[in-house]
Structures are given as C-alpha cells and as structure tokens.
C-alpha cells in the first residue's frame, strides 16, 4: 500500500505509517513539534548556536526530518559545530517517500541528501550502517560501512550514521563519545511498546554523557516511569500545538533546574513491579 503524505497544520509534511497506523509526526505541526521537543527542550538549538561539538543519538530515523532541521538550524546560525549524528531504523522508508516530504523547503538541497540516505538505508541489509558526511561546501554521498571523516580540524560538518536494525540490537559502543543529546522519537507507547521499556532507557543511559539531555513528545505516566526506572530524571515542559505537555530527561537532575518536575518516587513505587 502506498504511503500517504499529509501536510500538517504548520505547512510541513508528514507520512502515515500503514504498519503502525499512526502518523510519523504531530499533525498539528510536524516541524513545530520537532523544533520544540527535540531542538529547544534538549538544548540542541543552543549548542548549535554556540558552535559546540555534539554527539547525538536518535531513536527512529524514519523520514530523516531531524537531519534536515539540523542543517536548517546550522545555516540559520552559521554554526561551526562538528556533529556526530547516530540513528537507528528497523523499517526504512523508500527514498521516493522521503523525497515527497519536500525537505528542500526546510533547507535547500536536503530533499536530495536525505533522499539518498533513505535510498542507501532501504537497500542495506539488517545489521548494516549507512553513513554520510554533510559539510556546508561539499555535496554529501551516502555510503555503506564506516569511513572516517578526513581532515576535520575546525571544519563544520554533520556526520550521519544510520544503523538498519532493531534498536535493541544496536551496538552503541560505535559512538565517538557519550551522547550529549538524545532524540527519543518512537511511535506512541501503545503502538510501539518495545521502545518505551526500562531496558530501552537503560541502554540509552549507558550510551549517554552524565549531563545528557533526552527529548520526547510523550508525557504518559507509564512511559515516564520506564524512564525513571531506567535511570533518568524527568522534567515537564509545555507542549507544542496539539499537546498539553511533553517531557525532557537527564541522568543529572541539576540539568532540569529550569523545568517543573514529576514526583519520581511516587511513579517508581507505582510501576516498579509492573515494569521490572
Ligand atoms: C514516530 S517515527 C519518527 C521517525 C523520525 N524521527 C522522523 O522524524 O521521521 C518512529 C520511527 O521508529 C522506527 N522504529 C519503530 N520500532 C523500532 C525499533 N524497534 N527499532 C528501530 N526503529 C524502530 C519506525 O519505523 C519509525 O521510523
């Protein structure tokens, strides 16, 4: 069955997943939600604007929207950050579907760059990685395998590496260093429960910097309990259009001082038996 592309209320596009019976993004505004939840709440926007180098892990590459948005933010801020972007995808979309997301409107050229990543990922076998280095002045080429980034001193770049497999089979020891930013962008806990388990958040914690920030659009009590039991502290944030509240998390409670908090003790007590 052909994947149905829709235009969300802020004019950006999303796609409906026939497998999960859910849209990939918030229909009240795909781009608006991504910017709020994954870029602003986690501090990624600020890190780019301050030219800090970033290691980022994404759960669920999907359409590749966040790669396009990252390059848009890089252009807007003139960021010189060196970004290592690691992602995982179990059910890759075809490049043609990704091209119909029209990422060129978000950042010129990104429809083709992300389209090429999607082509290579779709062709890849389970357990293989696809990697691309995007630099402001050099076209990106999608390759299989893990080539090193050459001659990188001072050069801004985004190195995207997407692992084609189940998240739980992903060897996160490949990261160049512990992740400072985590984009947890699975489908909702009721349709994609395997990505909202305590084991999921423990695995992410093991790959994370002690001061890492994790963003998710989810505010469900049970999902928050899984994060807490997985070793994360939770902050509550006002959601983008269509969502009352979303969550941000860190292994370091001090990183959440600007946010309202949840009663972690209570959630742990309530869910410990059910979730362990
Ligand atoms: C809500 S979509 C979002 C994707 C993406 N961040 C975007 O903006 O398009 C969630 C993605 O997670 C993928 N996924 C679901 N379960 C997975 C698993 N166990 N391992 C790896 N990827 C998974 C889905 O195929 C889907 O592409």
Domain range list for the chain: 5-275
Cα(190) to ligand 1 centroid in Å equals 14
Tell me the CA–centroid distance for residue 244 and ligand 1, in Å.
Answer: 23
Digit-coded pLDDT (tens) for 151-173: 456 789 999 999 999 999 999 99
Ligand 1 contacts CB of residue 63 (under 6 A): yes
What separation in Å is there between the alpha carbon of 264 and the centre of ligand 1? 27
When pLDDT is averaged across residues 195-223 and rounded to a whole number, the result is 98
Candidate CATH numbers 3.40.50.150, 3.40.50.410, 3.30.565.10, 3.40.50.300; the one for domain 5-275: 3.40.50.150
Angle in degrees, CA 186, 109, 175, rounded to 5: 45
Average pLDDT, the chain: 93
Question: At residue 39, does pLDDT exceed 90?
Answer: yes
Beta strand spans in 187-261 (E):
208-216, 233-238, 245-250, 260-261
Closest listed residue to residue 57, CA positions, set 166, 175, 223: 175
What per-residue confidence (pLDDT) applies to 137? Answer: 65
**Model confidence, pTM:** 0.95
Tens digit of pLDDT for each residue in 59-104? 999 999 999 999 999 999 999 999 999 999 999 999 999 999 999 9
For ligand 1, atom 27, name the residue with the nearest CA: 62
253: Cα within 13 Å, side-chain hemisphere: 8
The predicted structure's pLDDT at residue 148: 46
C-beta of 15 in contact with ligand 1 (< 6 A): no
Q: How far, in Å, is the centroid of ligand 1 from the Cα of 23?
A: 11
pLDDT at 136: 78
Extract the tokens encoding 108.
């010129």
User: What number is the average pLDDT over the span 44-51?
Assistant: 97
Check if 188 has its Cβ closer than 6 Å to any atom of ligand 1: no
Residue 222: burial class (beta carbons within 10 Å; 0-12, 13-18, 19+): middle
Residue 145: the pLDDT is 45
CB-CB contact of 33 with 240 (8 Å): yes
């Amino acid at each position: 069955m052909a994947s149905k592309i829709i235009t969300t209320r802020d004019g950006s596009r999303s796609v409906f997943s026939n497998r999960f019976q859910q849209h990939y993004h918030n229909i009240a505004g795909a781009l608006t939600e991504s910017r709020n939840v994954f870029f602003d709440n986690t501090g990624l926007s600020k890190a780019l604007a301050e030219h800090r180098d970033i290691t980022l892990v994404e759960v669920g590459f999907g359409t590749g929207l966040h790669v396009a948005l990252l390059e848009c933010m890089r252009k807007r801020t003139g960021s010189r950050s060196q970004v290592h972007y690691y992602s995982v995808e179990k059910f890759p979309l075809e490049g043609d579907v990704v091209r119909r997301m029209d990422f060129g409107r978000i950042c010129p050229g990104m429809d083709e760059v992300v389209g090429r990543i999607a082509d290579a990922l779709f062709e890849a076998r389970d357990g293989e990685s696809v990697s691309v280095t995007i630099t402001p002045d050099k076209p990106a080429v999608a390759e299989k395998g893990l080539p090193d980034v050459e001659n990188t001193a001072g050069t801004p770049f985004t190195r995207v590496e997407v692992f084609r497999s189940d998240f739980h089979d992903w060897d996160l020891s490949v990261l160049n260093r512990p992740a400072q930013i985590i984009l947890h962008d699975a489908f909702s806990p009721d349709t994609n429960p395997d990505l909202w388990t305590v084991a999921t958040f423990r695995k992410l914690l093991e790959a994370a910097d002690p001061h890492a920030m994790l963003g998710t659009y989810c505010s469900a009590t049970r999902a928050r309990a899984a994060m807490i039991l997985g070793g994360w502290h939770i902050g509550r944030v006002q959601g983008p259009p269509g969502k009352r509240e979303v969550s941000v998390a860190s292994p370091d409670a001090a990183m959440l001082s600007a946010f309202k908090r949840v009663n972690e003790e209570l959630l742990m007590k309530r869910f410990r038996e059910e979730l362990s």
